[in-house]
Structure 1
Amino acid sequence: MADDIAAPPSLLPANRRIVLSGEDVLRILREIEFLLQSLHHIGRHYYPDGDDDGADALRRAQYCAETTRFIDAEQATTRLALMRSILSAPFDTTLGADDMDDLERAVEALPLWRAPGRLS
C-alpha cells in the first residue's frame, strides 16, 4: 500500500522543517493508537488465527459489519480529520505557480477510492 503513494513534490523552504508541540504529537499518537489497536482487536476477534483465507461468509459479514459499526460509532473520520488539522496547521500555505500550496500538491495524485465502475 505504501508503494502506491508517490513521494510529495519539493516543499517551500518554510515547510521543510515543521515543529509540533509535544502535546499535539501525543494527541495524534493516542488517536492513532486507539484506531489501530481497536481495528486490530476486531480483526483478531473474528480471525483469531490471523488468517481470513477461507473464512466462512457469516464470519466475514460479521467482521465487516463490526468494523463499519466501530468506524461510525467512534467517529473515525472525524478523528482522522482532527489529526490532519493538527498536522497541517504549521504549514505555510503560500500558493505556487500552479495555484496550489504544498499540502494540496502533496495529495493531488493520491489514488483515492472510487465507486465501482467509476473512472474518475
Structure 2
Amino acid sequence: MLEKNKSITYSGERIIDALKEVELILISLHKMGSYFGEKFLEDGEAQHRAEYEKETTHFIDDWKVANRLATIRTILSEKFDDTLGEDDMDDIERAMEGIKY
C-alpha cells in the first residue's frame, strides 16, 4: 500500500454524508425485516414471504439503494491516491481483488 494511503483524513461533513446514506439503508431494511418478521411469527412464513420480497425490492429500486451505495463508495475512496503499482492496479483495486461476487 502506498504510504499516502495508510492514513487518510476526511472532513466530518463527508463522513456524515456517508453515514446518512448508511443509516437510511440500514434502518429501513431493519424496520422492514422487523415488520415482516412479526408477520412470519404470527401467520407463518410462506404467507408473507412474497410480500416481504416485493417490498424489499421496491425499497431497493424506489430509494435508489445502488446509487446510495455508490455514493458511499465514492466518499470513502475519493481521498485515496490511485497511482498504479507494478501490477497495474491501485491500492483499492488490489484490496478488492479477492472479493467473490
Normalised by the length of structure 1, the TM-score is 0.78
RMSD: 1.8
For residue 81 of structure 2, what is the aligned residue in structure 1?
A: 92
User: 1:56 deviation in Å?
Assistant: 2.7
After superposition, give the CA deviation of every residue in 1:11-61 in whole Å (9 maximum; x if it has no partner).
211100011110000011111011000000000110128x77xx4323111
Instruction: Tell me what 1:15 maps to.
Output: 5
Give the secondary structure class of the aligned counterpart of 1:87.
Answer: helix
For residue 108 of structure 1, report the CA deviation from its aligned partner.
Answer: 1.1
The partner residue of 1:34 within 12, 24, 37 is: 24
Q: Identity, % of aligned pairs?
A: 45
Give the aligned length: 100
Q: Distance in 2 between matches of 1:66 and 1:60?
A: 10
Aligned residue in 1 for 2:96 = 107
Residues in 2 aligned to 1:90 and 1:97: alpha-carbon distance in whole angstroms: 21
Distance 1:76 1:56 in 2: 26
Post-superposition CA distance 1:67-119 (Å, at most 9, x none)? 1110000000000001111111100001111000001011111011xxxxxxx
Letter in structure 1 aligned against 2:49: R
Larger helix share, 1 or 2: 2
Q: What is the TM-score with the length of structure 2 in the denominator?
A: 0.92
Gaps of 5+ in 1: 1-10, 113-120
Rounded Cα–Cα distance in structure 1 between residues aligned with 2:53 and 2:28:
14
Which of 64, 77, 87 is the aligned partner of 1:75?
64
